[in-house]
Every structure is written in structure tokens, then in C-alpha cells.
Amino acid sequence: MDDQQNYSSCAQACKALISAGLESPEDMSLISKQECRQLLRDSGYDRYDDKTAGFLVDDAHLLLTHYKGDFGKLRDAAGRDPAQERLLLKKFKGIGDGGVDIFFREAQLVWDEIYPFADKKALKAARLVGFREHPKVLAELCQNDIPTFVRLVAALVRMELSKSYNDVQSQAQLRPPHSMPQS
């Protein structure tokens, strides 16, 4: 399964869980792994194993037990240090560096110690459309506006997943920073 299909499958599964009223760690801790597995299957989640359901239920319990269901408490336990946050997040089953990267891309909106964060997928796409491969440079392109930067990083990741570099560049009429007029 390629990355784009995997992301689509995960998004579909997430929608199914939310539709079933499973919107919090507390909600997830109330269902069995088998019930979660069935919800995922019914949603069309097509992973090759049934580990994901177990991860979701077990990780909800971990978040509740260690952090009272609040990632902010994990942040505090890590001393607001991104390296420590990464280590603590990777203690959740099924979460590796890729999962932490996804979390960091979104969390940097409110976890200022992470900003500016762009993962390998975003940086590769940036390079392929002519931008420099550095989060600080990309942030400067966004005038250091965090929400704009987060949207740019998300767009770069979508571009990398769909391999649509040329289409996106021509449609958006993107110009690399070295060709932008100086003010």
C-alpha cells in the first residue's frame, strides 16, 4: 500500500471512530479491542493486520493512566523539550518517528517549542519545487506566521504523497525564493 492510500485509509477509519462517538481517550477506553477491530473493518480500513485496534485501545489506556488523557501533560512531563516529547510519544504502541512527525506537524500550532517543524516528506517536496530544504527558511517564506507555515508544510506533504510536484507548481505559479523580488 502506498503512502497516499495509507493516509486515505487512516482518515476513513478515523471518521468511522468519530461517527461511532469515540472522540476521546475516555471513549476509546470503554470499548474492547474486538469492538474497535470491527469498527475499523466496517469502515473499510484495509491494513494487513489487526494490530491497529489493539494499539488504539491500549494507547487510550496509556494516555489516561500516565497523562490523565491529556497530551499537554505529556508535554509538561517532557519539560517542553521536543526530543523528550518524541521519546514519550514513541512509547505509545504503533507510534514511531513517522507518527511523531505527523503529530509534530500539527502540534506546532500550539506547542511553540516544536515550531518550525517540517519532516522529511515536506522537505523533499520543498526541494523538488525549488525551495530550500530547511524549516526556518520555509517559515520565513510564510513571514513566520505559524498557521500559514503549518498549512504550507501540510501542502508539501500532500504534494509528496501524490507526487504532483509539477502540477502543483504550475497551478500555484510557485516561484523559488531566490526568484522572488526583494522589497
Cβ atoms of residues 36 and 28 within 8 Å: yes
Report pLDDT digits (tens) over 47-97.
656 788 999 999 999 999 999 999 999 999 999 999 999 999 999 999 999
3-state secondary structure of 119: coil
Q: Are 60 and 25 in contact (CB under 8 A)?
A: yes
Identify the DSSP state of 111. Answer: -
pLDDT at 90: 98
- pLDDT, residue 49, reads 61
- Written as tens digits, the pLDDT of the chain (183 aa) is 556 666 677 778 888 899 999 999 999 999 999 999 999 888 887 665 678 899 999 999 999 999 999 999 999 999 999 999 999 999 999 999 999 999 999 999 999 999 999 999 999 999 998 899 999 999 999 999 999 999 999 999 999 988 887 765 554 444 444 444 443
Alpha-carbon dihedral angle through residues 12, 22, 82, 131, given to the nearest 10 degrees: 20
CB 132 within 8 A of CB 114: no
The residue behind cell 519539560 is 79
| Cα–Cα dist 43/117, whole Å | 32
Contacts of 71 (CB under 8 A, 6+ apart): 63, 107
Please report, for the chain, the start and end positions of each structural domain, with discontinuous segments joined by +: 1-64, 120-175
φ, ψ at 99 (rounded to 5°)? -65, -40
CA distance 124 to 138: 12
